[in-house]
């Protein structure tokens, strides 16, 4: 990587944080990933490297937290022990480096004993049992706080409602595992949903003729993991009960009243308590772990559930505690990632797609093939340079994989002795509006902001959940209204009239009224969501929030100078130029000004004053508190303090609840850190 100036590094770090945060939301909250795992891992590696090289790490960076989001549809549930992500090893070299790190940390040359288990590609969940009875079921969420899904979890037949067996049971235990959707039943589910949609479409034809609201169609699932996530997070648990979900237990979180000496003891206990488990392989040293990982990869095709790797854990729990964790990963575990599944097919055509920011993306149109039950018809080729580097041409036979077992991608061209079509070249004009295209680095760009494809993309983002959240104005409706010439920009949404919509396909009396009511409801909006709705290049939810806190009003943001913008946390030179360019464009500025005549920006609340007893102090929490940990953490941070996971020389206070962690107490005493009770913390807070 070329050496950057501090300013350039800040800009690149800001861009990467925005991009990773957006992909986290798509993957965990929407169950709709946009890029393969391999590409996500690459973004994260770039971010970690830049933050380390330029000493620009921040507590709110995606590199410092477990990925994931909590749906607002469910009640929050705080895990006693965080459900952390596992670091990835993409090859044998990285797996051996994991082993070397552990030996360096423990200052030993002896072989470490590991256990190895399949890495399930499902939905992680935590089940809390008290006195042997299931009381709570929760998703992983952000690792610390998940979604309460107890009613849904109880419908899964492989989840014991009461721990079975006569062996000893802990007073409280968090069982960690994965909810999966069997591959053998996945295609059957989508076929049932297709048939149901055909029936609904016929019913809707009748409803529309009678001027009644049509019934929504059912979404098909992309893959078994997506099906497991969608089934598990149903608001109606009877829907979950009809889905053939299966729970595999793979570990334990918090516990009281029982000591688990090592990972094999955990496995034996889980098995005796009635859980489905995949027996872990005991490995004496990293060589055995690597060999068994290769065996597991060969068995992958014969399994009825998806796995995308093998998890290696230090067997001894005392060693695990000594090794501890980073802000994001346990140091005692790593996931050996398997290469994605591949299949060959033919390239029928290479088309060009235009995005909302004007970027042109070549797309391979493929002869349909199925990988893991999913029909693959298209695969992004990213840029003209990528197409030429891989030398993909129309008519070629290519190797296709679902990268990260999710996103289709062309891996390589299968060599052929036959005559081939001419190499792909990006066209000179936009395929939609015929405007001459421009080059921007490795990307091609349509500079015409009035291009119908860009307008459709911007309006779709504007109406989406993180912006104005206009229900009923999805991509299909947006495309229809732009094609009809009714919508020309985002501000036109607020001047829509009944007579413009009535008579159009899909717009009967009731559906028209519903849409107009939704638009009316959306007029009140927070400033940060307003900023996020504008499709400013490189500005996502986190940057929108920072800009809203700094400038307070649209007028202040529009008038902001380069110097003003650089003062905003996380905003670098590239982002500054993007924002300035946006508001310097007369057409875009005019649309924003028109928009402001139709909406009401809610005032941002003033941040609370700092508490001098709390401000700039560092806290660590241990044991059970009377309030949820996340609530305590938010209150400390609201008053200007910081909450970290582990005790160090920089810790000011260890807040000790009931059943505190012995390791944290021991370290705090050794470092002479102040140990206080929850009641003492409340007094410091002034409560």
Residue 589 is among the residues annotated as catalytic for this protein: no
**Taking the CA atoms of the chain, what radius of gyration do you get in angstroms?**
27
Distance CA 91, CA 74 (A): 38
Cβ(174)–Cβ(255) below 8 Å: yes
Q: If you write DSSP's letter for every residue of 40-74 in order, what string do you get?
A: HHHHHHHHHHHHHHTT---TTSGGGS------TTS
212 burial via Cβ count (<10 Å: 0-12, 13-18, 19+): middle
H or E segment at 647?
A: none
Distance, CA of 556 to CA of 576 (rounded, Å): 15
Q: What is the DSSP string of 86-118?
A: --EE-SHHHHHHHHHHHHHHHT--SPPEEEEEE
Answer yes or no: are the C-beta atoms of 459 and 525 closer than 8 Å: no
Among 560, 590, 591, CA closest to 576: 560
The counts of H helices and E strands in the chain are 24, 24
Lookup result for tokens 């309460």: 148
C-beta neighbour count of 608 within 10 angstroms: 9
Report how far residue 105's alpha carbon sits from residue 231's, in angstroms, rounded to the nearest whole number.
42
**Rounded CA separation 227/231 (Å):** 6
Q: Long-range pairs for 63-67 at CB < 8 Å and ≥24 separation?
A: 63/328, 64/327, 64/328, 65/142, 65/143, 65/327, 65/328, 66/140, 66/142, 66/143, 66/144, 66/328, 67/24, 67/27, 67/28, 67/142, 67/143
At 130, phi and psi to the nearest 5? -120, 125
Catalytic residue among 7, 119, 218, 417: 119
* Euclidean distance between CA atoms 260 and 283, whole angstroms: 19
Separation between Cα atoms, residue 77 and residue 127, nearest integer Å? 11
In sequence order, what are the beta bridge partners of 123?
A: 179
Helix (H) or strand (E) holding 653: strand 653-656
Cα separation, 341 vs 370, in Å, equals: 11
End-to-end CA distance of the chain: 51
- Catalytic positions, written as ranges: 119
């Amino acid at each position: 990587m070329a050496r950057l100036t501090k300013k350039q590094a800040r800009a690149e770090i800001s861009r990467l944080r925005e991009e990773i945060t957006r992909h986290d939301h798509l993957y965990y909250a929407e169950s709709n990933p946009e890029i393969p795992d391999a590409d996500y891992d690459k973004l994260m590696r770039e971010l970690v490297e830049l933050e380390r090289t330029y000493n620009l790490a921040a507590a709110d960076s995606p590199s410092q937290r477990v990925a994931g989001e909590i749906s607002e549809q469910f009640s929050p549930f705080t895990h006693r022990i965080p459900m952390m992500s596992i670091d990835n090893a993409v090859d044998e070299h990285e797996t051996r480096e994991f082993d070397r790190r552990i030996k360096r940390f423990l200052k030993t040359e002896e072989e470490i004993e590991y256990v190895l288990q399949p890495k399930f590609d499902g939905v992680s969940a935590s089940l809390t049992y008290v006195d042997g009875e299931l009381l709570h079921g929760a998703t992983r969420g952000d690792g610390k706080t998940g979604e309460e899904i107890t009613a849904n979890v109880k419908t899964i037949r492989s989840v014991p409602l009461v721990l079975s067996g006569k062996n000893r049971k802990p007073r409280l235990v968090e069982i960690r595992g994965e909810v999966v959707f069997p591959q053998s039943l996945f295609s059957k589910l989508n076929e049932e949903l297709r048939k149901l949609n055909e029936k609904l479409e016929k019913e809707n034809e009748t409803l529309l003729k009678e001027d009644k609201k049509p019934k929504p169609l059912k979404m098909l699932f992309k893959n078994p993991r997506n099906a497991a996530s969608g089934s598990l997070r149903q608001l109606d648990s009877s829907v979950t009960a009809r889905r053939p979900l299966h729970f595999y237990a793979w570990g334990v979180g918090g516990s009281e009243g029982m000591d688990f000496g090592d990972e094999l003891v955990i496995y034996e206990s889980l098995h005796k308590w009635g859980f489905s488990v995949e027996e872990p392989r005991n490995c004496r040293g990293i060589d055995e772990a690597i060999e068994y990982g290769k065996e597991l990869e060969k068995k992958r095709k014969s399994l009825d559930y998806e796995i995308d790797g093998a998890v290696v854990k230090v067997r001894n729990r005392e060693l695990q505690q000594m090794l501890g964790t980073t802000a994001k990963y346990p140091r005692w575990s790593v996931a050996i990632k398997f290469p994605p599944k591949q299949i060959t097919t033919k390239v029928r055509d290479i088309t060009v797609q235009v995005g909302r920011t004007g970027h042109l993306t070549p797309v391979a149109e493929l002869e349909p093939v199925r990988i893991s039950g999913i029909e693959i018809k298209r695969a992004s080729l990213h840029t003209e340079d990528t197409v030429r580097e891989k030398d993909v041409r129309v008519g070629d036979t290519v190797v296709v994989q679902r990268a990260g077992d999710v996103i289709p991608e062309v891996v390589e061209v299968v060599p052929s002795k036959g005559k081939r079509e001419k190499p792909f070249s990006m066209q000179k004009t936009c395929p939609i509006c015929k405007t001459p295209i421009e080059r921007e680095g490795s990307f091609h760009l349509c500079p015409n902001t009035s291009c119908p494809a860009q307008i459709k993309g911007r309006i779709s983002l504007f109406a989406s959940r993180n912006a104005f959240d206009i229900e009923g104005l999805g991509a299909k409706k947006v495309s229809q209204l732009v094609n009809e010439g009714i919508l020309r920009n985002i501000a036109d949404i607020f001047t829509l009239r009944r007579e413009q919509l009535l008579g159009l396909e899909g717009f009967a009396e009731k559906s028209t009224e519903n849409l107009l009511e939704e638009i009316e409801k959306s007029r009140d909006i927070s400033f940060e969501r307003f900023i996020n709705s504008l499709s400013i290049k490189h500005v996502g939810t986190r940057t929108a929030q920072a800009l809203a806190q700094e400038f307070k009003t649209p007028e202040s943001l529009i008038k902001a100078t380069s110097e003003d913008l650089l003062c905003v946390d996380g905003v670098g030179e590239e982002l500054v130029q993007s924002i300035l360019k946006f508001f310097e464009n007369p057409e875009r500025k005019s649309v924003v000004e028109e928009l402001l005549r139709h909406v009401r920006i809610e005032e941002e609340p003033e941040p609370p004053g700092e508490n001098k007893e709390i401000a700039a102090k560092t806290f660590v929490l241990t044991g059970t508190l009377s309030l949820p940990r996340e609530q305590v953490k938010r209150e400390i941070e609201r008053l200007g303090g910081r909450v970290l996971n582990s005790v160090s020389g920089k810790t000011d206070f260890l807040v000790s609840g009931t059943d505190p962690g012995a390791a944290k107490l021991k370290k705090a005493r050794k470092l002479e850190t102040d140990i206080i009770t929850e009641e003492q913390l409340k007094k410091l807070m002034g409560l």
